[in-house]
Amino acid sequence: MDVAVVGGSVAGLQAALTLGRARRRVVVFDDGQPRNRAAEHVHNYLGTVDPAPGELLAAGRKQLAAYGVEVRNARVEDVTADEDGFVVGGVRVRAVVLATGLRDELPDVPGVADGWGRTVVACPHCHGWEVQDRPLVQLGMRGVPERSVARALLLSRWSDDVVLCTDGDQLTSSQLVLLDKAGVIVRTERVVAVRPENAKVRVELSGGSELVPRALFVVVRQHQQSELAEKLGCRVVDGAIVTDDSGRTSEPGVYAVGTTANPALLAIGAAGHASTAAVAVHADLLELDLGGGR
């Protein structure tokens, strides 16, 4: 095989598609646990009409078959590297594309996880349109108030009824001025619990008061889902695999795509990044082909 793609969400499948169309022999390993699996729909993805995550990925897998790409339903826990390339899941390959994605750490508030992907979401660009002009709450992550403020300001472009719950964090006077200018109301009480319902969510604050927005947006911390990058010796900074503009990591023959390398990417951006990286993989392998490398 030429390339092993580890991870079969939108970035991994797009990398495999581009490589398959370049007539590379590709195998995809996927454990069926995409980051967005809890979401009801994938929004803001050109050419689709809000499919469920599973529907989008199933269509992608079906598309790969025409190009001879093999998909294995397996989780890769380790990769062996030697002078001849890599062994991934028992398959020898010449290059590895890491598309293992991220894991979201949610705010430590009871009930947040229960509504995750439905009435509790993170990204306004992914979910803001569907709840525009409705009452919305932005829940901060304790200890990083600057991120909470930035998200509340962003969310205010989708609705003029936005409340920022800092969950006990105090804000600076300059932050309060910006929030006031954007029309965002600030509540600094601790958040006791979140109770998701079908088309709304109840946010209980200390002292007994309650907010009932259409949706609760939360700040999350992101972590790599897999330790493969570190095991391969790739440089990782602030939870992201460091790459050049074409997805090349610090280790020759290893590439990282999508949110694995850039956590800020939307789904369609992750796919685009993966396609760019796959072009680089093909070019690098061609150079090795012509130069007599592995």
- At 41-60, the pLDDT tens digits run 999 999 998 999 999 999 99
In angstroms, the CA 17 to CA 22 distance is 9
pLDDT at 239 over 90: no
pLDDT at 294 over 80: no
In angstroms, the CA 101 to CA 41 distance is 18
Q: Are 60 and 10 in contact (CB under 8 A)?
A: yes
Q: For strands 136-139 and 162-165, give the pairing.
A: parallel
Angle among Cα 77, 79, 81 to the nearest 5 degrees reads 165
Q: Are 281 and 122 in contact (CB under 8 A)?
A: no
Better-scored residue on pLDDT, 98 or 34: 98
- CA terminus-to-terminus distance, the chain: 11
Task: Please classify residue 237 by burial: count the beta carbons closer than 10 Å to its beta carbon, then call 0-12 exposed, 13-18 middle and 19+ buried.
Answer: exposed
Of the listed ranges 81-85, 125-129, 189-193, the one predicted with least confidence:
81-85
pLDDT for the residue numbered 101? 94
What pLDDT, in 10s, does the model give residues 118-144? 999 999 999 999 999 999 999 999 999
User: SS3 helix, strand, coil % of the chain, rounded to 5?
Assistant: 30, 25, 45
